[in-house]
Amino acid sequence: MARLTNRRIRWWRGAVGLIAGLYFLVPLACSVLFTVDVPGQGFTLSSYTGILSASGFTSSLLLTLELAAATIVLVLGLLVPALLAARLGAPRLRPLLEVVCSLPLVVPSVALVAGYSGVLRWGPQYLSRTPLFQTFVAVQNASFPVVLVLAYTVMSLPLAYRALDAGLRAVDVRTLMEAARSCGASPVRAVFQAVLPNLRGALMNASFLTLALVLGEYTVGALLGFRPFAVWIVGIGGSQAQLSVAVSVLSLLLTWALLLVFAAAGRSRTRIPRRARAKAAPALVPQESAS
């Protein structure tokens, strides 16, 4: 009987795995097929080789990566101190923090960008004779639009919050802080030397989610008139369909590669301690000489 239910469960697992796999893999396979099988030319990799020479590819990808880096720094810079402070000093503020960080989930990015463009239009008009006018100009600088960093930061708050909160739940922040302080560490050093190293996985997760969001974000960038990577892909899709899909496939691979890098970096805590390795190495020498 037990074996029977077991087998039935396995069967379902297989079915679910198959359906989910098809759901994800079929579109992917079609995309790849579309890019390499050009009608009239047969199998060709020209759309992939054409990417590098396509105008705007490098600049838009670099812009997006820069924006992503700035967003990650800003999000972590905001959230980590806030979450630590809430955990250590004001546990009753935690629900508030959670609600605030989840708010962007219920505000569609179209509504968000409508608000942004309203402010960007209104601001210069009313502040034209104040130094703030220059600020408004600067945040919209097309070579590095700070306003996008601000928007992305808001949008990635819910994701980063979940990732960091999960990490904080796994460690006893208060005890770690107190242990470090009783060992003579100032509060700031205690955070950097005792708490943050143990949040490495969570920090990596939060960073990765933010990166993934920024790489794929289209609405805000397009509506505010900038050309980050996703906007460039859509733009080029109008003229060179194969190329744009090839870029999508490539960016998917890029995202996966980055995910693996981040995951590996987050996991490397289980590495063999340096000193143990150093000790193990000389131990081999006498053995070899003995034999």
Partner 1 sequence: MTVEFRSLHKSFGATKALDGLDLTAHQGELLALLGPSGCGKTTALRMLAGFEHPDSGQVLVDGEDISEVPAHRRDAGMVFQSYSLFPHLTAADNVAFGLRMRKVGAAERRARAAELLELVGLPQHADRYPHQMSGGQQQRVALARALALRPKVLLLDEPLSALDAKVRVQLREEIRRLQQELAITTVFVTHDQEEALSTADRVAVMRDGRLEQCASPAELYDTPSTAFVAEFVGTMNRLPGRATGDGTVEVLGQRLPVRGAADTSGAVDVLVRPEAVDATADEDGSARVTATAFHGAVTRLTVTLADGTTVKADIPSHRASDLAAGAAATVTLPERPVLIEAHAA
| Residues making contact with partner 1 (CB under 8 A) | 171-172, 175-176, 178-187, 189-190, 193-194, 197-198, 200, 269, 273, 275-276, 279
Question: Minimum distance between the CB of residue 211 and partner 1, rounded to whole angstroms?
Answer: 24
Q: What is the smallest separation between the CB atom of 169 and partner 1, expressed in angstroms?
A: 14
Q: What percentage of the chain's residues is helix, strand, coil (to nearest 5)?
A: 85, 0, 15
Nearest CA to 211 out of 44, 71, 48, 101 is that of: 71
Q: Contact at 8 Å (CB) between 187 and 177?
A: yes
Q: Which of 83, 262, 92, 217 is nearest to 162 (CA)?
A: 83
Q: Are the beta carbons of 168 and 97 closer than 8 angstroms?
A: no
* Closest C-alpha to 223, from 130, 145, 129: 145
N- to C-terminal Cα separation, the chain: 58
Nearest distance from C-beta of residue 186 to partner 1, angstroms: 5
Q: Beta-carbon neighbour count of residue 199 at 10 Å?
A: 23
Closer CB to partner 1, residue 33 or residue 264?
Answer: 264
Identity of the residue, 112 or 196, whose beta carbon is nearer to partner 1 in the bound complex: 196
Which of 3, 274 has the CB closer to partner 1? 274
Q: Which amino acid is at 73?
A: V
User: How many helices (H) and strands (E) would you count in the chain?
Assistant: 14, 2
CB of 278: closest distance to partner 1 in angstroms? 10
Between 44 and 186, name the residue whose CB sits nearer to partner 1. Answer: 186
Q: How far is the CB of 280 from partner 1 (least distance, A)?
A: 10
- Is 37 strand, coil or helix? strand
CB nearer partner 1, residue 131 or residue 184: 184
Nearer to partner 1, 91 or 108 (CB): 91
Q: Residue holding tokens 């463009």?
A: 117
Cβ of residue 195: shortest distance to partner 1, in angstroms? 9
CB atoms within 10 A of CB 101: 23
Nearest distance in Å: CB 79, partner 1: 21
> 83, 202 in Cβ contact below 8 A?
no
Considering beta carbons, is residue 162 or 181 the nearer one to partner 1? 181
Nearest residue (CB) to partner 1, 62 versus 276: 276
Task: Using the CB atoms, write b or e for 110-136: b if 16+ within 10 Å.
Answer: eebbeebeeeeeebbeeeeeeeeeeeb
Q: How far is the CB of 80 from partner 1 (least distance, A)?
A: 16
How far is 18 from 25, CA to CA, in rounded Å?
10
